Amino acid sequence: MSPEDLINLGLAKELVVIITSALPILELRGGIPVAMTLFDFSWYYAFLLAVIGNMLPVPFILLFLDAAARLLSKVRFFDRMLNWLFERTRRRGKIIQKYKRVGLILFVAIPLPVTGAWTGSLAAVLFGIKFKHAFLSILAGVLIAGVIVTCLTCFGLSIVGMWQQG
C-alpha cells in the first residue's frame, strides 16, 4: 500500500504519515518525505509524526514476536518464511550481535532498506536484548534516522520524488 492509496481512502494527512511511517520497509524513510513534499508539513511536524508512526509497531514486535513465531512455525509455509527472515536478520545484524545496544542504535539509525525499527526489533528479539534496552536503543536509532531523513528531504532528496517520477 502506497501513501497515495491511503490518501485515496480519505484518511487525514497526519494519519497517512503515521501509517506510512509504521509500515515495514518504508518506515520514516517514507513518512517524512510524504509529510514534507506531498502535504507541505513543517520539518518538525513531519519528524514528530514519522517518529510516532515508526515506533508504533516496536513494542508489539519486541513483546510478541517469540510467541507469534512459535505459533506460526507449526505451519510449514510460515516456518520456512520465518527461518528465512530470521537467518537474513542474523546475517545483517552482526553489528548488533557484536556491540549490543550501541550496535542496535547504529543499525536502526542508518536510513537504508532493511535497517529500520522493524528489522532492529526483530534483531533485538533474536539476540536476546531486554525490552527496555531494545526499546530505548531503537528509539535513539529512529531519532537519528529521522534527523538524517529530514535533512535529506529539506535538501530535496527523498524517495517520494522517485515515486512521482516512476
Q: How confident is the model at residue 165 (pLDDT cuts 50, 70, 90)?
A: very low
Q: Residue 114: its pLDDT value, please?
A: 78
Is residue 160 scored above 60 in pLDDT?
A: no
Q: Residue 158: its pLDDT value, please?
A: 56
Is residue 53 scored above 90 in pLDDT?
A: yes
Q: Looking at per-residue confidence, does 116 or 92 come out higher? A: 116
Q: How confident is the model at residue 1 (pLDDT cuts 50, 70, 90)?
A: low
Is residue 156 scored above 80 in pLDDT?
A: yes
Q: What is the pTM of this model?
A: 0.85
Q: What is the pLDDT of residues 62-80, one digit of tens each?
A: 999 888 888 888 888 888 8
Q: What is the DSSP string of 83-134?
A: HHHHHHHHHHTHHHHHHHHHHHHHHHHS-STT-SHHHHHHHHHHTT--HHHH
Q: How confident is the model at residue 84 (pLDDT cuts 50, 70, 90)?
A: confident
Give the phi and the psi of residue 140 in degrees, each rounded to 5.
-60, -45
Domain ranges (residues) in the chain: 3-55+150-165, 58-145
Q: What is the mean pLDDT of residues 89-98?
A: 78
Residues 6+ apart with CB under 8 A from 77: none
Give the phi and the psi of residue 78 in degrees, each rounded to 5.
-70, -35
Q: What is the pLDDT of residues 119-149, one digit of tens each?
A: 999 999 988 899 999 999 999 999 999 999 9
Is residue 166 scored above 50 in pLDDT?
A: no
